[in-house]
Amino acid sequence: MFIYLCKKIAIPGNVRLRCISWNKDQGFIACGGEDGLLKVLKLETQTDEAKIKGLAAPSNLSVNQTLEGHSGSVQVVTWNEQYQKLTTSDQNGLIIVWMLYKGAWYEEMINNRNKSVVRSMSWNADGKKICIVYEDGAVIVGSVDGNRIWGKDLKGTHLCHVAWSSDSKVLLFGMSNGEIHIYDNQGNFIVKMKLSCLVNVTGAFSIAGIHWYHGTEGYIEPDCPCLAVCYDNGRCQIMRDENDHNPVLIDTGMNVVCIQWNHCGSVLAVAGSLKTTSQDKDVNIVQFYTPFGEHLRTLKVPGKQISALSWEGSGLKIALAVDSYIYFANIRPDYKWGYCSNTVVYAYTRPDRPEYCVVFWDTKNNEKYVKYVKSLISITTYGDFCVLATKADENQPQYVLVLCNSIGTPLDPKYIDIGPLFVTMTKTHVIAASKEAFYVWQYRVAKKLTAMEFNQVARTRKEGRERIYHVDDTPSGSAGGHLDYSRAIEFQGTRDPICAITASDKMLLVGRESGTLQRYSLPSVGMVQKFTLNCHAYQLSLNCNSSRVAVIDLSGVLTFFDLDTRVVTSTGEQMVGEQLKLERKDVWDMKWAKDNPDLFAMMEKTRMYVFRNLDPEEPIQTSGYICNFEDLEIKSVLLDEILKNPEHPNKDYIINFEIRSLRDSRALIEKVGIEESSQFIEDNPHPRLWRLLAEAALQKLDLQTAEQAFVRCRDYQGIKFVKRLGNLQSESMKQAEVAAYFSRFEEAERMYLDMDRRDLAIGLRIKLGDWFRVLQLLKTGSGDSDDALLEQAHNAIGDYFADRQKWLNAVQYYVQGRNQERLAECYYMLEDYQGLENLANSLPENNKLLPDIAYMFVRVGMCEQAVSAFLKCNRPKDAVDTCVHLNQWDKAVELAKNHNMKEIGSLLARYASHLLEKNKIFDAIELYRKANYFFEAAKLMFKIADEESKKRTKPLRVKKLYVLSALLIEQCHEQIQNAQKGKVKGKSSEAASALAGLLEEDVLSSTNRFADNAWRGAEAYHFFILAQRQLYKGSVQAALKTALHLRDYEDIIPAVEIYSLLALCACANRAFDICSKAFVKLESLETLRPEQRQQYEDLALEIFTRHSPKSNKKSDLDDMLDSSIDGKLPVCVATGDPILEQRFWMCSVCKHCMKPKEASSRSFCPLCHSTI
């Protein structure tokens, strides 16, 4: 950063100032002094025109109001920015709160304890609470509306300072004895602050200031120190929080009066005085430090005694109260910024994010790309590239250099072990230096490369591509060089640290604090020479041919050193290098011209000077940072204005300045003429001036002068253009071509149309890519327009809309341009699958677009349309693959059969086995079912049903599984019969086809037990469930009849369950003969354990000692049951009764029967649940 005094305001009556405070939001400055002096001032806000000049704009006072109300010396002034209030206090303890009304300040509230004097006041971060501390130990916390929240009397203490934490939970009280006590926001003591900066301090000392930055603009680093405490003896500590036991310690070596952070917590200003040995009186100075204790600058201030300081809201100005004057100083911050290929790269902090926000702002297209970078150290740019230097990790001392392109895309990161305090860049190298070592990275080969060809850079770390050197080494340049950090850092520092570096394609210059300047060759990095400068360099810059270096020192003095001049010393010794006589003060930025070694621009305070051969031109008022100096034009960026609203950079803040020779040449051409101007340009040659002359000659169709000028500025395209103009006969044609050359396209088109050369107007618009205008011209023409050109125009407009993802608009133009390929893409993006299908149907067979459309359908799962498209382009295999991919196996099998593809069966089997391996049996069943392989599906379903049956799960679930199995078998039978019918059609009778079907079914039934009687499992569980339902309902006789059927199904349901149920039903029906037989069967079962058998025997004994094993009700029940068991009579699946009637209902699916009475009251078959 650079700082210089810029303005001085005298207080009337020579009243001495005691305090000053600058309102960060509204820009008001309050200053208090002796005899009740209280003034509110405001520097006038800049107009748009003045903004372009930035700080260079004149700043007069727009507000100068004296506030009456205090009688004693005003000692404390503090602003509440959120609520636009000013709070002031004087030596009598009187507190006044002032409010803003119609542009002026008025008293709002007054308070006076009449006991003690107010030493400090502080509003919290949100402006809702104020804490007031009195000298006698009294503390009052009040609200913004004047109500007292709490008060406390800290007995035995003398208070002098107060500060809030950013979250308003902690209060710091500074005591007159130098101690700082930490309290909570309710006034409860927590702990005394540890003051590391006062170790080994003797003598009396007091607190000069406590300032806690509240993070309103974000932090420059995560966990950044933000609480500054400073004592009048110059000792200072900066802490991360109130309990930080490892603070940053600074000994300023001065008598401190006041401290304050800037608006974003990146700079701490410490004001006070310094005793000098040469002078008797003290010198007023302001020292500037980073939060990490690094000294940035020192500002000397005239006057007897400085009493206070305050920063402006943007951090670009600082106000100093000295005696009876207010001094203003301008600050030129060291922004993290750079400029590469029309892109301004700048970084800023945000309160909502811990990282730096890095913006890549393309000034040509006004587009910006934002990246978030943690612990950013610096930004360096060159050509088309940018290097971001960052800290790799907070806990490890490792750093990263990230090479990016001009839109912020990271191309190549390099991890290094030295802190990159100084970074410079050339066309081929990145050089980073710490205080004792420098690292050289050749990021691309030394041939002419564009950003697009960057992928030629090897990603691997090659020999010699990266090297590191200690500053005290003397490399010869011959060795390849290694990346050996231990060797470079083994010295652990140096007595003469590095303070600045710069490089060009030929050389690297390293400046050291002693004034030594070391010159190394590039790319070999060999020590060439050492020079001695008369200053401590802060910034070095080489001109375009590396003959001179510009040096800006710490105090802003710019000097020049000629590296090639050979001089003879007084002793007769010949030396290389000479200090030039030019010296400029208060310089904070400079840039050499890229194309002239004698041209440079520099910023001196608020003026820009351009020098040619060390002679200055008249200055320009501006505060911009110089981006680029090329072609006699300086591009400057007003970073101060941009960073006031960094999310929305404005193109108005990029300013181009023409230097005098360019301005003079332009004026000469306009006023005097081409011939006279060419003589002036001959005397002051520059390609840009020749181009200016060439363009002026073209405008006047002076082709000979234009050609000569284009030759002088080596513009081959210009020469060719002049030749082409010379071949044209028509004068108006030449004028039209010149208008087009100067981008006056509307004028050129109008001329072509006036000449009735619509074809040339269309050609011009085609070159420009303005297809909308091309279409307009084609349609407005009187003759028939070219159909091919019309199609081309429609397609180009379609492309325009498609590029912007306006697919609906694109479709309309592609239809007119008959561009079926892009049309298909648009339909797909619009999800207009009907349109896509219509397009596929309209295409001829074997069209090359059909497979692409088919794959579009595949991607969205539209099987039928995809198959249709594949078949249309004669790709049945792809159609089958699609069906398989989309699980449409029935379709796949059908297609495979129709196209005689053998592999479908094996494919199906392979997929099914894959599913079975993963235990996805139901998926395998579904697969077989969809592919019409009903028998395989039924086999798997029966297997599941048998397993579930053995698990003794819910009987209803098992019945459902058996029903599904049987239904699959029925579908299999139906498939066989249909196939046989199809085979023998027209050859033999129906009887023959039926016989063939039966024979095939016979083969199936011989291979599997369930194929013969598929419904047995379903019947078993159906009757098992029905018997239990009837029993629970109380229909014991019906339950017994049903249970008797279960004796046929011992192979499906365990015998123990069948006979237990039968015994229960018989006992309930008092049919003890059947009950007895059931118990006999149970006792004879081999599957029972002895204790279970014993239980059955005991139960039988208990039953049959009471009841004789004979049936009490002798009826025809037994005969009926016997006949049904023998299979003579069909059984009703609804009731379990044998059907005695001649007429009964039979299910068309499972072929089971039901009594007509039952059938009439039901909608579904009780067994298979098919609709009646």
Tokens 């902690």 appear where? 170
Sheet of 38-43, strands arranged across: 17-22, 28-33, 38-43, 61-66
Cα 517 from Cα 501, distance rounded (Å): 9
Question: What are the angstrom distances between the C-alpha of 652 and each of 332, 639, 735, 1109?
Answer: 20, 11, 33, 114
pLDDT digits (tens, 9 = 90+) for 286-341: 999 999 999 999 999 999 999 999 999 888 999 999 999 999 999 999 999 999 98
Distance in angstroms between the alpha carbons of the first and the last residue of the chain: 95
Ranges of residues in the chain with a pLDDT under 50 are: 447-449, 451-463, 986-989, 991-1001, 1003, 1005-1007, 1114-1116, 1119-1120, 1123-1126
What's the confidence (pLDDT) of residue 376?
92
Cα 289 from Cα 251, distance rounded (Å): 11
Nearby residues of 809 by Cβ (< 8 Å), 6 or more positions away: 801
Q: What's the token pair of residue 89?
A: 């206090």
Nearby residues of 1085 by Cβ (< 8 Å), 6 or more positions away: 1055, 1056, 1059, 1093
Question: What are the angstrom distances between the C-alpha of 454 and each of 361, 430, 445, 880?
Answer: 21, 15, 10, 46
Cα 282 from Cα 274, distance rounded (Å): 5
Q: Alpha carbon 641 to chain centroid distance?
A: 26
What's the confidence (pLDDT) of residue 209?
94
112 bridge partner residues: 94
Cα 252 from Cα 260, distance rounded (Å): 14
Quick one: which of 3, 61, 630 has its CA closest to 269?
Answer: 3
Cα 693 from Cα 673, distance rounded (Å): 10
Task: Give yes or no for a contact between 633 and 666, defined as CB atoms under 8 angstroms apart.
Answer: no
Cα 315 from Cα 311, distance rounded (Å): 6
Cα 118 from Cα 133, distance rounded (Å): 6
Task: Give yes or no for a contact between 909 and 924, defined as CB atoms under 8 angstroms apart.
Answer: no
What's the confidence (pLDDT) of residue 747?
87
DSSP string of 380-439? EEETTEEEEEEES-SSS--EEEEEE-TT--EEEEEEESS--SEEEE-SSEEEEE-SSEEE
Q: What's the token pair of residue 845?
A: 């067979």
Tokens 């109001």 appear where? 65
Task: Give yes or no for a contact between 501 and 540, defined as CB atoms under 8 angstroms apart.
Answer: yes
Nearby residues of 107 by Cβ (< 8 Å), 6 or more positions away: 69, 96, 97, 98
Cα 1137 from Cα 1158, distance rounded (Å): 11
250 bridge partner residues: 236
Tokens 């930490």 appear where? 182
What's the confidence (pLDDT) of residue 983?
63
Cα 655 from Cα 635, distance rounded (Å): 6
H/E stretch holding 906 reads helix 904-917
pLDDT digits (tens, 9 = 90+) for 568-609: 666 666 677 788 888 999 999 999 999 889 999 999 988 999
Quick one: which of 522, 563, 554, 509 has its CA closest to 536?
Answer: 554
What are the backbone angles phi and psi of residue 97, rounded to the nearest 5°? -105, 125
What's the confidence (pLDDT) of residue 479?
59
Residue 975: Cβ-neighbour burial (10 angstroms; 0-12, 13-18, 19+):
middle
What's the confidence (pLDDT) of residue 149?
93
In a 3-state reduction of DSSP, which class is residue 1047? helix
Total residues belonging to the chain: 1172
Cα 142 from Cα 323, distance rounded (Å): 33
Tokens 């050089």 appear where? 431
Task: Give yes or no for a contact between 627 and 635, defined as CB atoms under 8 angstroms apart.
Answer: yes
Nearby residues of 968 by Cβ (< 8 Å), 6 or more positions away: 929, 934, 935, 937, 938, 941
Cα 153 from Cα 1026, distance rounded (Å): 91
